[in-house]
Amino acid sequence: MYECLNSTLTLQITKMAKSRNKNDKVGKILAVDDNADILFALKLLLKLHVKLIRTLENPEELPRLLKEEDYDVILLDMNFTKDAISGKEGFYWLEKILEIDASAIVIFVTAYGDVENAVRAIKCGATDFVHKPWQNEKLLATISSAVKLRQSRMEVTNLRQKQSGLKAILDQPFSDFIGSSAEMQRVFATIQKVAKTDASVLILGENGTGKELVARALHRNSSRKDEVFISVDMGAITETIFESELFGHVKGAFTDAKADRAGRFEIASGGTLFLDEIGNLSLTMQAKLLTILERREVIRVGANKPKPIDIRLICATNMSLLDMISEDRFREDLLYRINTVEIQIPPLRDRGDDVVLLANHFLNIYSKKYKKNIREISSSTIKLLKKYHWHGNVRELQHALERAIIMTDDAILTPMDFHLSASHNKVDGLELESYNLEEVEKSIIKKVLKKQAGNISMAAKELGLTQTSLYRKMEKHGL
């Protein structure tokens, strides 16, 4: 029978070879059968369609072969003992294959197939079941689908490994924060205490201090860490789309509602919902938000049936909500709902040497990103960064370091690499370009000489110097 099959197969392959493109070949196949004719027929058929076809007569060699190389599909005979039809050996080797590679794609090939064995094969982990003698096109289609399944499984496995690795990094305590100051240690301690609860948290702080980082740290250290974290910028949501965005809508609820859509509360259910810039909400939107928080359910726009929600709420703002309450711009009852615990993030200017830690952290990140060989930040630059006011806080420092690294051609960052706002550098009303003492002295002498129209005597008197000392300093600075 198989001699006839080989002859017919050779004629079919000769026709297919003319149109087959090497680039169309996919997958690595291992065929295991104690019949040499069967293996020859498989090799003859598959060599034009797959990247690699390897055959094996003795299944005892399977463990060694699978440890040496990965295969996309394994074609496995069900019966290896002559005249045996039970399939017992096939199931034994299927189990061994899956012990070595749990994601292996195994297709049973047998001349003694029945429905009972086919069902058992699938339950035991086989992907498919092919009868001998096979139909060439059907076998090729089965293998092609199996290769795609293997690729999908590998992609999922790789994605899970990446996610697991990323999660391990992110789940390190406060991995997003750089700070050893007492102020930041208090923030860290509060996060550790609050994270494990479902208490609503209000995060206060200036722009750029890292309010969303605190929210994400609370989520990652909570019992909801495996669920979603949804962030909503309330300052970007207008009153007209507020309900649709947060509560969702049904098809036809308004002109552009072409399909049902879940709102942010529904999407975040089971996880954490972070409402940033909560102070930007109008009183009307505040009232609607308060209703949802009290009832713990939402009603989509255009619907009547409420949907229960289960969220951990975290809010943030850079505004003084107490002042807004006194001015009738924020609801006091809403404030009580959102700030079971309050976390105040200190501005960067109050965090002492954290500026240096953060600067070196960003130096490391952006030197790698832009492939720059920058070794360090000069001492004079460190003094400048520590004295600067940093109205934009950590975000401004980050942007300043990134720009300096992009623009410099040197191995050390100097004050000249930074273009900080002069309006933020003032000493007794005098604007300075730098906090380098030599440069400050030169700048002050120039300004006083200009003010006194070059009169050395008057300039020395205003500076508290003798004329001789002033001349000496002018010579020093090349004035």
Whether 244 and 357 map to the same domain: the answer is no
Distance, in Å, from the CA atom of 227 to the CA atom of 246, rounded to the nearest integer, reads 18
Whether 259 and 270 map to the same domain: the answer is yes
> Tokens standing for 141?
């289609």
Whether 327 and 220 map to the same domain: the answer is yes
Q: Are strands 430-431 and 426-427 parallel, antiparallel or unpaired?
A: antiparallel
Which residue, of 373, 398, 421, is where some domain finishes?
A: 421
Whether 33 and 60 map to the same domain: the answer is yes
pTM of the model: 0.58
Whether 391 and 381 map to the same domain: the answer is yes
Residues whose CB falls within 8 Å of the CB of residue 73, separated by 6 or more in sequence, listed in order: 27, 28, 29, 30, 105, 106, 107, 143, 146, 147, 150
Question: What are all long-range contacts of 426-435, with beta carbons under 8 Å and residues at least 24 apart?
Answer: 434/380, 434/384, 435/383, 435/384, 435/387, 435/388
Distance, in Å, from the CA atom of 129 to the CA atom of 113, rounded to the nearest integer, reads 8
Which residue, of 300, 327, 346, is where some domain finishes?
A: 346
Whether 126 and 200 map to the same domain: the answer is no
SS3 state of residue 157: helix
The CATH number assigned to the domain holding 147 equals 3.40.50.2300
Residues whose CB falls within 8 Å of the CB of residue 386, separated by 6 or more in sequence, listed in order: 353, 355, 356
Question: What are all long-range contacts of 141-144, with beta carbons under 8 Å and residues at least 24 apart?
Answer: 142/107, 143/27, 143/29, 143/46, 143/49, 143/50, 143/73, 143/75, 143/107, 144/26, 144/49
Residue 342: name the closest of 315, 378, 381, 308 by CA.
315
Distance, in Å, from the CA atom of 246 to the CA atom of 265, rounded to the nearest integer, reads 6
What angle, 0 to 180 degrees and rounded to 10, lies between the N-to-C axes of helices 467-476 and 456-463? 90
Whether 208 and 296 map to the same domain: the answer is yes
The domain of 306 spans 182-346
Beta bridge partners of 128: 107
pLDDT tens over the chain, length 479 residues: 444 444 444 445 445 444 455 556 778 999 998 888 889 998 999 888 888 999 999 889 988 888 888 899 999 988 776 545 566 888 888 888 888 888 889 998 887 766 677 778 788 888 888 888 888 888 899 999 989 988 888 888 777 766 665 555 455 545 557 888 999 999 999 999 999 999 999 999 999 999 999 999 999 999 999 898 999 999 899 888 999 999 999 888 888 888 888 899 999 999 999 999 999 999 999 999 999 999 999 999 998 889 999 999 999 999 999 999 999 999 999 999 999 999 999 999 999 999 999 999 999 999 999 999 998 999 989 999 998 989 999 999 999 999 999 999 889 998 888 888 654 454 444 555 555 666 777 778 888 888 787 788 888 887 777 877 788 788 877 77
> Tokens standing for 309?
């929600």
User: Would you say 376 and 413 are in contact if contact means Cβ atoms under 8 Å apart?
Assistant: yes
At residue 195, the pLDDT reads 94
Whether 96 and 210 map to the same domain: the answer is no
Distance, in Å, from the CA atom of 145 to the CA atom of 152, rounded to the nearest integer, reads 11
Whether 15 and 125 map to the same domain: the answer is yes
214 lies in some domain: yes
At residue 68, the pLDDT reads 82
Whether 317 and 369 map to the same domain: the answer is no
The CATH number assigned to the domain holding 463 equals 1.10.10.60
Q: How many CB atoms lie within 10 A of CB 32?
A: 24
Number of domains, the chain: 4
Distance, in Å, from the CA atom of 466 to the CA atom of 469, rounded to the nearest integer, reads 5
Q: Report how far apart, in Å, the C-alpha atoms of 452 and of each of 53, 292, 445, 446, 467 are.
A: 93, 68, 11, 10, 14
User: Would you say 200 and 314 are in contact if contact means Cβ atoms under 8 Å apart?
Assistant: yes
User: Would you say 132 and 110 are in contact if contact means Cβ atoms under 8 Å apart?
Assistant: yes
430 lies in some domain: no
If you ran DSSP here, which 8-state letter would residue 301 be given? B
Amino acid (1-letter code) at residue 224: R
Whether 329 and 354 map to the same domain: the answer is no
290 lies in some domain: yes
Which residue, of 325, 346, 367, is where some domain finishes?
A: 346
User: Would you say 452 and 458 are in contact if contact means Cβ atoms under 8 Å apart?
Assistant: yes
Whether 126 and 260 map to the same domain: the answer is no
pLDDT tens for 168-198 read 545 554 555 788 899 999 999 999 999 999 9
Is cis: bond before 415, omega within 30 of 0?
no
The DSSP annotation for 419-464 comes to: ---GGG-EETTEE-S---HHHHHHHHHHHHHHHTTT-HHHHHHHHT
With left for phi above 0 and alpha for psi between -120 and 50, is residue 359 left, alpha or beta? Answer: alpha
Beta bridge partners of 298: 307
